[in-house]
Amino acid sequence: MYTERRKIALLLALGAPFAGTFAAGADSQAVAAPVVEGRLAPKPLYRDPVHDGAADPTLIWNRAKGEWWMFYTNRRADLATVDPRNVAWVHQTRIGIAVSRDQGATWTYRGTANIPYGTAEYTHWAPDIVYSGGRYHMFLTIVPGTFENWNTPREIIHLSSAGLEAWKFVGKLELGSDRVIDPSLAQLPDGTWRLWYKDERDHSHIHYAESKDLNAWTAMGAAITDRNSEGPKIFHWHGQYWMIVDAGRGLAVYQSPDALDWKPQAEFLLQAPGHAATDRGFGHHCDVVVNGDRAFLFYFTHLQGADEIPDLPHSAQRSVLQVGELIWADGKLTVDRDRATHVLLGGAR
């Protein structure tokens, strides 16, 4: 007969998930083994098959189809650039869509979002999508053209859709600035909607606005001023509101009891490089999906420089999407980008 130790070794060799208790030896006290739920996500999680420049993901549950959809900035990372100061490759972008039918573990390219706004030269960046009143609402960054530098106007617009496929323009948000990007929304317990965004005219601080109906918005001023950052993501978990922002050299974390008074966390997320070849850059602009006591961080990171991948043209511009599970302990958030991530997103969001 097998001993308990040999049983455990056999299970590990087969890669089988197991739960319950086991003993390390005949006289040892039983120790609980963790339950691994969800499918193992690949690394990288996703690469855009058109331009290889996926960034700024936002995830939404498609109620009609019963599957997760991910909208992302589809940067033209394969575009040849001689002058590194020429940023045309991050302009004239369309929003890509990927679909998951296994609760977020694997993703398949579906195409680009049908967004009827502007001309073919216009740039679409960093959407956020919520579901309210029987419709989906997208808040999207627009740059009115294709430019070779960063000195351009930017605005946030509101679109709506019955099923995530065909979008209708609702209106432009008047936020008191002509340089606003990266919207992120959350609804408060009293029904008020709050939208956070980067205001490049105010030292690139994160600002916020409020609305009762997603249509009329009132700009409220700066939300955090201790650093310049972008790509805010706000979510509620473990009795607190959390804000994660792209600080350029990793993701900065804040927490608040009311989504107004934000306290910074000393430790950044995704500053240290991972061991996987496709996950060694800083973590950038993320989304977070909470499923009960678990939360999953979806982020993008650049590949290594062209000198390190000589057979991949323009590799310094290319980016991939990754996922890691957030860990909450001692009132702080951490994520281990090298740890195997079993993703289980759950249902409607």
Measure the CA–CA gap between 192 and 203, rounded to whole angstroms. Answer: 27
Quote the pLDDT of residue 123.
Answer: 98
Q: According to the model, what pLDDT value does residue 347 have?
A: 75
pLDDT of residue 3: 37
Q: What is the pLDDT of residues 274-330, one digit of tens each?
A: 999 899 999 999 999 999 999 999 999 998 654 456 667 777 889 999 999 999 999
CATH architecture of 39-343: 5 Propeller (2.115)
How would you list the strands of the sheet with 168-172, edge to edge? 123-132, 135-143, 155-161, 168-172
Q: Give pLDDT, residue 12.
A: 32
**What pLDDT does residue 36 have?**
76
In this prediction, residue 304 carries a pLDDT of 67
Please report the pLDDT score of residue 277 as a whole number.
Answer: 86
Contact 284, 301 (CB under 8 A): yes
Residue-level pLDDT at 5:
34
Name the residue ranges covered by the structural domains of the chain: 1-35, 39-343
pLDDT along the chain (349 residues), means of 10: 34 34 35 67 97 97 97 94 88 97 97 96 98 98 96 97 98 98 98 98 98 98 98 98 97 98 98 92 97 97 67 81 97 97 84
240 three-class SS: strand
- Give residue 34's pLDDT: 46
Beta-strand pair 135-143/123-132 = antiparallel
For residue 180, the model assigns a pLDDT of 98
Kind and range of the H or E element at 314? none
Distance (Å) of CA 58 to CA 16, 233, 262, 321, 336? 32, 10, 23, 11, 21
Residue 31 pLDDT = 38
pLDDT digits (tens, 9 = 90+) for 235-280: 999 999 999 999 999 999 999 999 999 999 999 999 999 999 899 9
Q: What is the pLDDT of residue 308?
A: 57
Query: How many CB atoms are closer than 10 A to CB 9?
Result: 12
